[in-house]
Amino acid sequence: MSISDDIYRQYLDQSVIPSTDNFLIMRHKPHVFSKRPYHHHASIEVNFLINCEMDYSFSGSHVTVHPGYMICFWGAAPHGVVGVRGDGDMVNLYISFAQILQWGLPTRITDALISGDVICNKAPCPIDAVRFGHWASEFKRDDINWRKLVLSEISSRFTRLALDGWNTLHHDYRQSSTVVGRGKSMLHVEEMLRFISENHTSDISVSDVAECVGLSPSHAMTLFKRIVGLPIKEHLTRVRLSHARMLLAESEMKILSIAMDAGFRSLSSFYEAFQNHFSTSPAAFRKKARNIGKI
């Protein structure tokens, strides 16, 4: 492991990664990240703000989260709180991707989450504040029946979001086509997603990703493409680029160091991938991010 890998791993937040058949809920006062500029985690995150407003940075792109909206995103992309206004509360939900896929949601919403979009409901729902407050309280009960009830209600809320439609606050990776898997297939894919999220700054290959779930490379590639809609190598590149964008916008690191820190083997391969995905150079992206504070 290189020094840069070790630094990156400091930003992996294991505390908000539930097991594949579990979920987490917490209610707290939102605050600006101070000890570290961002974190990332291999789980779906849902935010709901009560009587306050918050600014997020997603890989250098700034998003304002308003009270009364259900904000959902895949936490593998680096993100951090950069501003809070008002004295209110925040309810956070963390759900494994395997759990999300088991719900049989419309393909379009799972596509959006896997693709890295930050989405929210189109208009506030009057009873959401009550819902989220109850979930946070009921989650604390040490009773499996209450946990099942809360999870069922969360699933229904996601279904309502999918049927009502949503607004996209931030587009990350827009090309994905999900075919929902079943049983062990979903667990294998989530483990592969998690392995990539936690190890993409290292020199990992498709074979390494396959090995982490005990599958042959060909089987792993076929399964991953069928459920995620992207080849493993392409997803790995996109995660690395997301990490690089955050460093370009939020750090003073040289571009060569950022390329190496994000897991690219050379500066030329980093420039090529960045240009192909974002139609701009890393230097131009950094200049724009610093001039206007958002992308």
pLDDT 10s digits, 169-223: 998 643 434 333 345 777 788 789 888 888 888 889 999 999 999 999 999 999 8
Torsion of CA 145, 149, 151, 152, to 10 degrees: 130
What are the pLDDT digits (tens) for 131-179?
999 999 999 998 889 999 999 999 999 999 999 999 999 986 434 343 3
Work out the average pLDDT over 277-281.
92
- pLDDT tens profile 28-59: 999 998 877 788 887 899 999 999 999 999 87
Give the model's pLDDT for residue 83.
95
- 3-state helix/strand/coil string of the chain: CCHHHHHHHCCECHHHCCCCCCEEEEEECCCCCCCCCCEECCCEEEEEEECCEEEEEECCEEEEECCCCEEEEECCCCEEEEEEECCCEEEEEEECHHHHHHCCCCHHHHHHHHCCCEEEECCCCCCHHHHHHHHHHHHCCCCHHHHHHHHHHHHHHHHHHHHHCEEEEECCCCCCCCCCCCCHHHHHHHHHHHHHHHHCCCCCCHHHHHHCCCCCHHHHHHHHHHHHCCCHHHHHHHHHHHHHHHHHHHCCCCHHHHHHHCCCCCHHHHHHHHHHHHCCCHHHHHHHHHHHCCC
Query: Higher-confidence residue: 163 or 7?
Result: 163
Per-residue confidence (pLDDT) for residue 290, from 0 to 100: 78
Tens digit of each residue's pLDDT (9 = 90 or more) over 102-132? 787 888 898 888 878 999 999 999 999 999 9
Looking at residue 21, its pLDDT comes to 66
pLDDT at 174: 39
Q: Is the pLDDT of residue 266 over 50?
A: yes
The predicted structure's pLDDT at residue 100: 84
Q: Which residue has the higher pLDDT, 55 or 100?
A: 55
Over range 228-242, report the average pLDDT: 87
Cα-flanking dihedrals φ and ψ of residue 240, to 5°? Answer: -65, -40
CA-derived radius of gyration, the chain: 19
Prediction pTM value: 0.75
The band of 253, judged by pLDDT with boundaries at 50, 70 and 90, is very high
